Amino acid sequence: MSDPRLLIHEVGLRDGLQMEHETVPTATKLGWLRALAATGVDIIQVGSFVHPTRVPQMADTDAMFRELTAPGGMASGVVLSGLVLNEKGLERGLACGVQMFCMGVSASETHSQKNTGMSVAEATTRIIATARQAIAAKCQVQLSVQSAFGCGFEGAVQQDRVLGIVRRYLDAGLTNISLADTAGHAAPDAVERLFTAIRALDAGAELTCHFHNTYGMAIANCIAARRAGVTAFESSVAGLGGCPFTKVAGGNVCTEDLIHMFQRMGVRTDIQLDGIIAVARQVADHFHRDMPGMIYKTGPISPTHQ
């Protein structure tokens, strides 16, 4: 049976492709996006509104949104999200039809400076103000805490530091919150503990997880997050991804592997796994290399064998 509360947020076109040296043609990305949308995933992150000299793979984000939000540009009812770092990014996103804005701050001072050029305190104040502007424009907003489970530069990140940022979000009335394991340092017990602590702050908060598989624990961390009440999962087709501003970059939890696991558990059986696998194989063919994901290579276990 499907679980209607569990959402899949595909971020491969942003968090995945930002790590690639090759800039993928816009038409190719649009083809992958439309194919992913047809599988029944709930949200797709089209790109990020960053300066093209810093992340050239995202230079066509505005154009992609305009194409997809034009009449007839997108047949599916999937929500289109975009990442913004500041007020300028929000302005660009509002101008081209972003439906859901993803924004946030790092719990690591070093990562915050490398990613945004701001301290954690300054970034938090600015991102809350930016989120309020997006809500005033009647857009969905998700706020994240990056490096929530550790930092490649600083090492361990204290839970209280993460909860302090989350409290500021909640105090501002912003309750759609994601924890991002930017460095891939999360372990299941810490995941369950931190999300449970946020639930204690606000039982009605909408919680999302974003795990990187740098050290091979992403799938296990997703299970721990679900146990703690997380209902939205960010993942990347073929396991693409990684933050270019962290010390050791690793791919995101793989969408087709995550969906295959959930469907083996009887969850989100409405999503067309074969369609996601087909896109993963196209991605592997495009980059002429094996991707981190497993199911696109092995194929799924047949439902008759469950």
Q: What is the pLDDT of residues 10-52, one digit of tens each?
A: 999 999 998 888 999 999 999 999 999 999 999 999 999 998 8
* pLDDT single digits (tens) 245-291: 444 455 899 999 999 999 999 999 999 999 999 999 999 999 999 99
Is the pLDDT higher at 140 or at 73?
140
- Based on the structure, what is the number of domains in the chain? 1
Q: What is the mean pLDDT of residues 124-128?
A: 95
pLDDT reading at 174 higher than 70 = yes
Q: Is 1 within a domain?
A: no
Q: Is 2 within a domain?
A: no
pLDDT reading at 1 higher than 80 = no
pLDDT reading at 59 higher than 90 = yes
Residue 247: what pLDDT? 44
pLDDT reading at 232 higher than 60 = yes
* pLDDT single digits (tens) 66-107: 999 999 998 778 999 999 999 999 999 999 999 999 999 999
Catalytic machinery residues: 243
Residue 66 domain boundaries = 7-305
C-alpha 148: how far from chain center: 14
Give the predicted TM-score (pTM) of the model. Answer: 0.94
Q: What is the mean pLDDT of residues 223-242?
A: 93
Q: Is 69 within a domain?
A: yes
Q: Is 177 within a domain?
A: yes
Residue 136: what pLDDT? 97
Q: Is 222 within a domain?
A: yes
* pLDDT single digits (tens) 141-151: 999 999 999 98
Q: What is the mean pLDDT of residues 161-179?
A: 97
pLDDT reading at 306 higher than 80 = no
Q: Is 176 within a domain?
A: yes
Residue 246: what pLDDT? 47
pLDDT band per the 50, 70, 90 thresholds, residue 130: very high
Q: Is 94 within a domain?
A: yes
Query: What is the CATH number for 63?
Result: 3.20.20.70
Q: Is 136 within a domain?
A: yes
